[in-house]
Chains A and B, each alone.
Chain A
Amino acid sequence: MAKHILTTPIKRSDLDGIKAGDIIYLNGHITTCRDVAHRRLVEYGRELPVDVREGAILHAGPIVRDHGDDKFEMISVGPTTSMRMEKFEYEFVKQTGVRLIVGKGGMGPETARACKEFGALHCVFPAGNAVLAATEVEEIESANWRELGMPETLWTCRVKEFGPLIVSIDANGDNYFENKKVEYNAKKEEVLEEIYKHVSFIK
């Protein structure tokens, strides 16, 4: 099957037919954006120094080598836990018009609401695979809010076939992880009942 590749700028119609659980790839630009950047925008009303409208953000804090003279090399860039940004993400998508959010693990109802309302996706880059991701970065084109230190700086990267990106929330607001959690929790009760039969060590 041919790779499904999205290219920034991404139009809302580009997301048609993409469903939770699908695998896609990204060409164009993606900017790392995590805890403090979300807080600054949403809580302190500061404008993001990078325009991500119809673009992509990556919940990540990379390892970057500084070659001086504003030249940087991406060494290792895997996603970080997206759920930490859940608290801010609805407002973030609304204000920035970002189309693709890439991170690790699932996100909650507020992000799903944003994806449906504004047309966006949340995707998982399989976490812990940071060298693979780094080799898909062609160049770091800019670095903003550097005072936040290496993990929190907004690194804007030009990427080629960045992925695999597994869609966890699609533009209909369908949430892969939430659906899975229902399955896991139903099965969990059954499993626990079985374990209880064997662990009555206090007699």
Chain B
Amino acid sequence: MSTKEQQVQEMTRVIAAFIAHVAKKLPDDVEAKIKELAADEKNPLAKTIYETMKTNQDLAFELNRPSCQDTGVLQFWVKVGSNYPLLGELEEILRNATYKATQDAPLRHNCVETFDEFNTGKNIGRTAPYITWDIVPNRDDVEIFPYMAGGGCSLPGSGKTLMPGEGYEGVAKFVLDLITSYGLNACPPLLVGVGIATSIDTAAMMSKKALMRPVSSKADNEKAAYMEQLLEDGINALHIGPQGMGGDKSVMGVNIEHGSRHPSVISVAVNVGCWNHRRGHMVFDKDGKYEILSHKGVTF
């Protein structure tokens, strides 16, 4: 076996193990935020729900099982260096790793082929897992964000291209309308990902990337960061609580990713992550050495 083949095999093994781990253990930032929300909660029903969540996460780790039965359709955001040597092999590595994790974890078979309407029974299919590629010039490593997008938190996903006259006021209204309707069933406290850009697809992509940013991180633009805070405080003031059943706060946070827009439009899209926000972040260098950034201290 060539060195390259060995590297491919090892990388498939590591990513599969990481996917299985992500299904069972929350990333450090989400775990810390849930703990903080639970500690601050005063509402008795909400406290019971937070206690249930804690018991569940402990059991998942102890019994080595996926903490939620809906392990989603696997999505990967890949930021790959233009000089990364396994660029051509990555897609197959991610596909094979998804299949392997599905057997090992085990993950639920969530891949239904549209039109022919059958479950492949493998958790991979025509376009699953979904991979979003960003090429990073002059780098020779690769950053991978595995994400399990469950049905419940995918359902609120929504976007609209507004006229500029509706402004950022229209953006705020769009976000809040969604959170008080579909958001209630999406397993709050949610991480709310908002994308603001030009056409609807650009906004949607950014709303997804917003969910890959750590909870409690801030947008790099001062006004965007201000709007994140306004929306977070505003949604918290609704006292939606865990499961949408009432409580002191409502969300883990609001992350906004934004880009340039055509002068005639302002597109907004929202994607939400449930409280059980199973997102990973890992980096491989060109030789296959890896580091896990989302779950500190984990190795496979």
Contact = CB atoms under 8 A, between A and B. Distances in A.
Interface of A: 21, 23, 60-63, 65, 75-78, 80-83, 104-106, 124, 126-132, 134-135, 148-151, 164, 166, 176-177, 180-181, 184-185, 187-188, 191-192, 194-196, 198-202
Contacts of B246: 180
B: contact size bracket: 35 or more
Given A21-B45, A201-B167, A126 B52 contact: yes
Contacts of A166: 45, 49, 243, 245
Closest 6 CB pairs of A and B: A105-B185, A129-B56, A149-B119, A199-B168, A128-B276, A130-B69
23 contacts: A61-B69, A61-B108, A63-B65, A76-B108, A80-B152, A81-B155, A105-B184, A105-B185, A130-B66, A131-B67, A148-B119, A150-B121, A180-B245, A181-B181, A188-B180, A188-B238, A191-B176, A191-B238, A196-B169, A196-B172, A199-B169, A200-B167, A201-B168
Interface centre among A77, A105, A150, A194 (most CB of B within 10 A): A105
A195 B155 contact: no
Contacts of A187: 237-239
Contacts of A75: 65-66, 69, 106
Contacts of B14: none
Nearest to B169: A196
B170 to A, nearest CB: 10
B68 interface: yes
B163 to A, nearest CB: 11
A128 B227 CA distance: 29
B108 A150 contact: yes
B59 A188 contact: no
Contacts of A130: 56, 66-70
Nearest to A152: B119
A75 B20 CA distance: 14
B59 A131 contact: yes
Contact of B230 (A21, A65, A124, A198): A198
A132 B52 contact: yes
Interface string B151-184: 1100100000000100111011100110011001
Contacts of B52: 126, 129, 132, 164
Contact of B243 (A21, A126, A131, A191): A126
A28 B227 CA distance: 50
Interface in B64-112: 65-71, 106-110
A191 B187 CA distance: 22
B164 A202 contact: yes
A153 to B, nearest CB: 11
Most chain B beta-carbon neighbours within 10 Å: one of A128, A131, A202:
A128
> Among A76, A106, A164, A195, which residue has the most Cβ atoms of chain B within 10 A?
A76
B211 interface: no
Contacts of A151: 108-110, 119
Contacts of B151: 80-81
Contact of A77 (B69, B177, B226, B276): B69
B180 A63 contact: no
A80 B173 CA distance: 27
Contact of A126 (B53, B71, B185): B53
Contact of B121 (A61, A62, A105, A149): A149
A195 B172 contact: yes
Nearest to B112: A149
Contacts of A181: 180-181, 184
B223 interface: yes
B272 to A, nearest CB: 13
A63 B68 CA distance: 9
Contacts of A21: 45
B11 interface: no
A132 B55 contact: yes
A81 B155 CA distance: 9
Contacts of B56: 128-132
B244 interface: yes
A125 to B, nearest CB: 9
A63 B67 contact: no
Interface in B37-71: 45, 48-49, 52-53, 55-56, 59-60, 63, 65-71
Given A104-B187, A105-B185, A132-B55, A63 B108 contact: yes
A44 B63 CA distance: 40
